[in-house]
Amino acid sequence: MRIGPKYKIARRLGTPVFEKTQTEKFVTREARRAKNSRGKRPRPKTGFGAQLLEKQKARYTYNIAEKQFAKYVKESLEKKGNPSDMLYAALESRLDNVVYRAGFAGTRQMARQLVSHGHILVNGKKTNIPSHATKEGDIVSVREGSKNKKPFEVFASKENDSSPKWISVDTKKGTAKVGKVDPYDSTVNNFNLTTVIEYYSR
């Protein structure tokens, strides 16, 4: 998905949805903007406007086009269980996201490129589709011929694993085992999937 200027989009959404904007520089700049805008009456948001905002936050976070994101929501609504949990699991299970979460790449956009260029294997087979849905028990690894590439050299040098608990990472072998995605928790994400579901259910 082609994305415009990241700082401008993140500022409009009011949250650092891109890894590039998750910096002290961005936080400082936003704090300065907030200070300068004190006394100005904020534009009130309608229920629809609030829902649209949350949808955009989630979509940009995972770097997904509108059509594909809507498809994920539709499929989540058709499954048994909590739609928010179903949607979150679908988004987190994407191969490009797993590559990012495991630490193979510093951003989801970079993870997408690594997958597209054939550097990643799933259960020993090359998979170049970023949206590939990984399953519990899958082993995601770096292709042998790609291990000397700079991104993977950085990965191999990591001492601490900061990936989520549902991904078991072996930095020496360059592998990540996929487990069951944790239930959706609105307190640890910068978007509200319950509101996103409401947007598509209206």
In order of 20, 60, 76, 138, 156, the CA distances from 153 in angstroms are 21, 28, 37, 23, 5
Instruction: Give residue 150's pLDDT.
Output: 75
Q: Which of the 8 DSSP states describes residue 16?
A: -
Q: Which domain holds residue 143?
A: 94-178
Q: In what order do the strands lie in the sheet with 120-122?
A: 125-126, 120-122, 139-142, 175-178, 167-170
Q: Are residues 112 and 138 in the same domain?
A: yes
Q: Is residue 183 part of a domain?
A: no
120: domain CATH number? 3.10.290.10
Q: Are residues 112 and 171 in the same domain?
A: yes
pLDDT (average), residues 58-78: 94
Place of tokens 């307190």: 187
Our count of domains for the chain comes to: 2
More confident residue, 127 or 3: 127
Which band of pLDDT confidence, cut at 50, 70 and 90, is reported for residue 2? very low
pLDDT (average), residues 164-186: 92
pLDDT digits (tens, 9 = 90+) for 21-48: 555 555 565 556 555 655 554 454 567 8
pLDDT exceeds cutoff 80 at 109: yes
- Percent of the chain residues past pLDDT 90, beyond the cut: 53
Q: Are residues 60 and 79 in the same domain?
A: yes
66: domain CATH number? 1.10.1050.10
Please state the separation of Cα 45 from the chain's center in Å.
26
pLDDT exceeds cutoff 50 at 74: yes
At residue 75, what is the residue type? Answer: E
Q: Is residue 79 part of a domain?
A: yes
Question: Which range in 20-29, 126-135, 170-179 is most confidently predicted, on average pLDDT?
Answer: 126-135
Does this model's pTM top 0.85? My answer is: no
Q: Are residues 107 and 80 in the same domain?
A: no
Q: Is residue 139 part of a domain?
A: yes
Q: Is residue 105 part of a domain?
A: yes
